[in-house]
A and B are shown apart, each in its own frame.
Chain A
């Protein structure tokens, strides 16, 4: 049986990053000089407000009344029976306002922006989920909002583009480079360096320069804090394993972080293997990339022998990113978290499986985590339990799924 481990028996995995934003050799601040002072102001504000009772009370109130937290920890009984192993619990981030975990972070950063006196919000987005979550909080706070999105992603995700526009955001197509998420991030950085006086850049995942990876993690850790308490309450013990998909890694670190010092809890981060790791057409930098520097931090990247960033592939736009948060790079190297990958086909089949057994349509990103649970549950003791982060709902993906199956909607 897993028990609550005593922190002094294990290294303190939760004490990172260091003062300059390093997780071992990863993370840091690799940006042009113009952004160094603005990042310092941001770090200072974030560290101050995360200890400020008034700020925290406002954040908690918004998370409860606007987002709908706490999200339920749901025992998926039919799926558990079918898999014939450990009990499978779903942490229902899909039930949040806007339908994914992304809003936990945009609420937090937008409140920070307001405290810092910024009047303009910018963001990058791939699938459009982070863009929608940003446009949503900007509308609520009456802030100007500009979202950068790869020109190809705008084509692929047109319903989310329209949602952002309904919410009053300006969606700017990015046609440089590979015309996807990484290029949108480049363009948002260029906007920020130009308009840094009045603009707050809300990054959507645990990437970017310090303090973003730590700050986004802290805002997303509400997922793991709730899940840990809910699981303990329901079972009186800790889970055997945690599973989450990894794009940039924000929903995964949000679930994992509060458990990192619980030595008996295994953790699986699931990357997108696309057509298969061996084909080279994937988005799995931790499983198949190597360390390098991109978007302000050192981490595992998909890159060629010359250090150029290579194109990624995944059926899910939210996992289609050549980098990954630096804390994950470090957790991989120290062996605290296992990183595995799941192909497009496996994810698609998991998408259908969860939909049919539990009546929950998961996002394609999330379907990667479900596919891993399908492999894992039979290997875990039958009276044990697994928590999987149900990071988002799949309504946004029904066109993609239908198209892949040759169905005209």
Chain B
């Protein structure tokens, strides 16, 4: 069983929901990332989503755009990100790591080379924001052959026929984008999310994660009541941005917000 499937199964048996923090690899500098990954796990992360910096992050709001720019000042490449995962895996062999980014760095590396090196490094999933399943056939096959889950997005604009097709192509989990907009947008409508999730569940048994617009513990808890996983990104990245001169303080602030979310989610599951 893949690390992602194993993690969701153990959570399900405990009656808990997955908490998935997103950070951009190499933000604000490369040496910060591996320690941060470990601290996120200690603070309650179940799966880590590691952003691959890209020069043109079209689906991201200003917070993650600037994180990409900070990382790119240090020339953090896709190969560099794989190196970080490899280093993380020396001390952690159980927490799944999903890379999130844009297609072009993967294209340049080549699908085969990427999939092989990513699997060797200990990557469990890949989410390419600008790759809908219609264009993704070759990459999906190559990833699957190397034991990496292709993670696909669903959106408020996805009609039922698309939901069905995308659920068919996905593995690991599916990721529902909670709102029309970019990462870091204001807030989401929990009722609308719940309605869409019940439609999605008619087409898949995979766990369904929800992201975009979750920035505090109470929203995380609300979403956890209807979803299998809660993804939080910009709210954490903002704390790194506010502490670029003091990296340990930045990591501590991130861990503290994530810890609050963990507590609120677990408390609301028990209630």
- Please measure, in the bound complex, the distance between the C-alpha atom of A13 and the C-alpha atom of B102, giving whole angstroms: 31
CA distance A302 to B9 in the complex (A): 44
- B65 neighbours in A (Cβ, 8 Å): 176-177
Tell which of B61, B72, B103, B166 touches A293, judged by Cβ atoms closer than 8 Å.
B103
User: A193 with B104: in contact, given A30-B130, A176-B65, A306-B77 (CB under 8 Å)?
Assistant: no
In the complex, what residue of chain A is closest to B103 when comparing beta carbons?
Answer: A293
A195 to B180, CA, bound (A): 7
A183 to chain B, nearest CB (A): 8
Q: Which residues on the A side are within 8 Å of B109 (C-beta)? A: 307
> Which one of A34-42, A81-89, A109-117, A228-236 contacts B?
A34-42
Min CB–CB distance B181 → chain A (angstroms): 4
Query: Which residues of chain B (83-99) have a CB below 8 Å from chain A?
Result: none
Q: Which of B55, B61, B104, B134 contacts A20 (CB 8 A)?
A: B134
Q: Is B47 an interface residue (CB 8 A)?
A: no
Using a Cβ–Cβ cut-off of 8 Å, how many residues does chain A contribute to the interface with B? 38
A296 on interface, CB distance cutoff 8 Å: yes
* B129→A32 contact, CB < 8 A: yes
- What is the CA–CA distance of A305 and B66 in the complex, to the nearest angstrom? 22
B62 (CB) vs chain A CBs: closest residue: A176
Chain B residues near A225 (CB, 8 Å)?
A: none
Given A28-B135, A308-B72, also A293-B130 (CB < 8 A): yes
Is A33 located at the chain interface by the 8 A CB criterion? yes
Q: Taking the nearest CB of chain A, how far is it from the CB of B38, in angstroms?
A: 26
Q: Distance in Å from the Cβ of A34 to the closest Cβ of chain B? A: 4
Across the interface, do B78 and A306 meet the contact criterion of CB distance under 8 Å? yes
- A29 and B135: CB pair below 8 A? yes
Q: Which of B57-93 contact A (CB under 8 A)?
A: 57-62, 65-66, 69, 72, 75, 77-79
Residue A78, interface by CB 8 Å:
no
B155 at interface by CB-CB < 8 Å: yes
- Which one of B156-164, B221-229, B243-251 is at the A interface? B156-164
> Nearest Cβ in chain B — how far from A22, in angstroms?
9
Report the minimum CB–CB distance from A260 to chain B (whole Å). Answer: 26
A346 contacts B by Cβ under 8 Å: no
Q: Are B55 and A296 in contact (CB under 8 A)?
A: no
Q: Most chain-B CB neighbours within 10 Å: which of A37, A183, A295? A: A37
**A294→B108 CA distance, assembly (Å):** 12
Distance to closest chain A CB from B74 (angstroms): 12
Q: Complex: how many Å from CA A194 to CA B177?
A: 12
List of A residues within 8 angstroms of B153 by Cβ = 32-34
Q: How far is the CB of A329 from chain B (nearest CB, A)?
A: 14
Q: Please tell me the number of chain B residues within 8 Å of chain A, measured between CB atoms.
A: 46
| CB closest residue in chain A, given B77 | A306
Q: What does the 1/0 interface line of A346-361 toward B look like (CB < 8 Å)?
A: 0000000000000000
Q: Do B108 and A194 touch across chains, with their CB atoms under 8 A apart?
A: no
B30 at the binding interface (Cβ < 8 Å) = no
| Residues on the B chain within 8 Å of A20, using CB | 134
A190 CB–B CB distance under 8 Å = yes
Residue of B nearest to A41 (CB): B157
B34 within 8 A of A: no
- Establish whether residues A31 and B132, one from each chain, have CB atoms under 8 Å apart when the complex forms: yes
Most buried by B among A20, A35, A305: A35
Q: How far is the CB of A105 from chain B (nearest CB, A)?
A: 22
- Interface positions, chain A 282-323, Cβ under 8 Å from B, are 291-296, 298, 301, 303, 305-309
Task: Report A-chain residues with C-beta under 8 Å of the C-beta of B182.
Answer: 190, 193-194
Q: Are B181 and A194 in contact, with the CB atoms below 8 A?
A: yes
**1/0 contact string of A7-43 vs chain B (CB within 8 Å):** 0000000000000100000001111111111100000
Query: Using Cβ atoms and an 8 Å threshold, which residues of chain A touch B156?
Result: 34
Q: Which A-chain residue is minimally distant from B212 (CB atoms)? A: A34
Please, which residues of chain A bring their CB within 8 A of the CB of B158?
A: 33, 36-37
Taking the closest CB of chain B, its distance from the CB of A36, in whole angstroms, is: 5
CA gap between A293 and B131 in the complex, in Å? 10
Residue pair A177, B132 in contact (C-beta under 8 Å): no
Q: A32-B129, A196-B180, A308-B105 are in contact. Are A177 and B56 (CB under 8 A)?
A: yes
Kindly list chain B residues whose C-beta atoms are within 8 Å of the C-beta of A292: 104, 107-108
Distance in angstroms between the alpha carbons of A158 and B129 in the assembled complex: 35
Q: Is B185 interfacial (CB 8 A cutoff)?
A: yes
Question: Which of chain A's residues have a CB closer than 8 A to the CB of B180?
Answer: 34, 193-197
Complex Cα gap A296–B69 (Å)? 21
For residue A29, which residues in chain B have a CB less than 8 angstroms away from its CB? 132, 134-135
Query: Given B59, B61, B105, which contacts A307 in the complex, CB threshold below 8 Å?
Result: B105
Q: CA separation between A99 and B66, bound complex, in Å? A: 37
Tell whether, in the assembled complex, residue A306 and residue B105 are in contact, meaning their CB atoms are under 8 Å apart.
yes
Q: Which of A28, A303, A307 meets B78, CB within 8 Å?
A: A307
Q: List 20 A-B contacts (CB under 8 A).
A: A29-B134, A30-B103, A31-B130, A32-B59, A32-B155, A33-B154, A33-B157, A33-B162, A34-B156, A34-B157, A37-B157, A37-B162, A38-B157, A177-B69, A190-B59, A194-B180, A291-B107, A307-B106, A308-B104, A309-B56
- The 8 residue pairs across chains A and B that have the minimum distance between CB atoms: A307-B108, A307-B105, A306-B77, A34-B155, A33-B153, A194-B181, A308-B55, A307-B104
Interface residues of B, Cβ cutoff 8 Å to A:
54-62, 65-66, 69, 72, 75, 77-79, 102-109, 129-132, 134-135, 152-159, 162, 166, 177, 180-182, 185
